[in-house]
C-alpha cells in the first residue's frame, strides 16, 4: 500500500500485528501525587550508557507532569495485571484510585507484583510526529517477580507461553 493512501485505521490495524509488552511509566506531580500512563512502546535503547525509552503522545497530560518532574519509574506488567493496564490507560485524574503503590528508589510509584521496574532520570524528549521519543537514563533496575509478562497483540491482551528460560538457561 502506498503511503499517500494510508489512513489511521489501517496504520493501527497493521501495526497491531506487532506484539508489544505493556508497562506503566509513573512519576509524581508537584504536589507529590502519583501520575502515569500505560505504554506499549517501552524499549531498551542503549547499554553504554544505559538508556531506555518510550513514546508518549504529545497530548498526554500525565507525561507532561512526568516531564516537569524529570524522573520516572517504568513498571513492566505481568500477565495478571490487565486491570492495572486499563486503569493507567484512563484519562488523567483517577488512575491510581484503588491501586497500591510504594515509592521506588527514586521516589516514583512502584506498583506491587510487577515483573520488573526501572528507575530513570529523564534524559531526552524528542518530537516524533504526534508523539515524543523519550529516553531515560537508568539509575536502578530490579526484577520483582518471575512471572510471564502482559502482552498486547491485535487489540487484545495475552501472555507468553514459549520456552521456559530457566529450564534452558544452560544452553
Ligand X SMILES: Cc1cc2nc3c(=O)[nH]c(=O)nc-3n(C[C@H](O)[C@H](O)[C@H](O)COP(=O)(O)O)c2cc1C
37 part of the interface to ligand X, by CB under 6 A: yes
Q: Does the footprint of ligand X cover residue 159 (CB under 6 A)?
A: no
In which residue are the cell numbers 520488573 written?
A: 116
104 binds ligand X, rule: CB under 6 A: no
92 belongs to the binding site for ligand X (CB under 6 A):
yes
Size of the site for ligand X (CB under 6 A): 19
Cis check: omega of the bond before 169, within 30 degrees of 0 = no
Give whole-number Cα distances, 165 to 21, 66, 77, in Å: 17, 34, 18
- Choice from 41, 43, 106, 139 touching ligand X (CB under 6 A): 41
3-state secondary structure labels for all residues of 23-43: EEEEEECCCCCEEEEEECCCE
Residue 39 in the binding site for ligand X (CB under 6 A): yes
* Cβ-contact 14, 74 below 8 angstroms: no
> From the CB of 50, what's the least distance to ligand X, in Å?
21
Enumerate binding residues for ligand X (CB under 6 A): 22, 37-41, 55-57, 60-63, 85, 88-89, 91-92, 152
Amino acid at each position: 500500500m502506498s503511503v499517500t493512501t494510508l489512513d489511521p485505521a489501517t496504520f493501527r490495524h497493521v501495526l497491531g500485528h506487532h506484539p508489544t509488552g505493556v508497562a506503566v511509566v509513573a512519576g509524581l506531580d508537584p504536589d507529590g501525587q502519583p501520575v502515569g500512563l500505560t505504554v506499549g512502546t517501552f524499549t531498551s535503547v542503549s547499554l553504554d550508557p544505559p538508556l531506555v525509552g518510550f513514546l508518549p503522545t504529545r497530548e498526554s497530560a500525565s507525561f507532561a507532569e512526568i516531564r516537569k518532574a524529570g524522573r520516572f519509574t517504568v513498571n513492566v506488567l505481568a500477565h495478571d495485571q490487565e486491570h492495572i493496564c486499563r486503569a493507567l490507560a484512563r484519562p488523567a485524574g483517577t488512575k491510581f484510585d484503588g491501586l497500591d503503590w510504594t515509592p521506588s528508589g527514586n521516589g516514583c510509584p512502584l506498583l506491587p507484583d510487577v515483573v520488573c521496574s526501572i528507575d530513570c532520570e529523564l534524559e531526552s524528549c524528542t518530537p516524533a510526529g504526534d508523539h515524543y521519543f523519550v529516553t531515560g537514563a537508568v539509575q536502578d533496575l530490579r526484577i520483582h517477580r518471575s512471572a510471564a509478562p502482559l502482552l498486547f497483540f491485535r487489540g487484545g491482551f495475552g501472555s507468553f507461553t514459549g520456552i521456559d528460560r530457566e529450564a534452558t538457561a544452560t544452553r
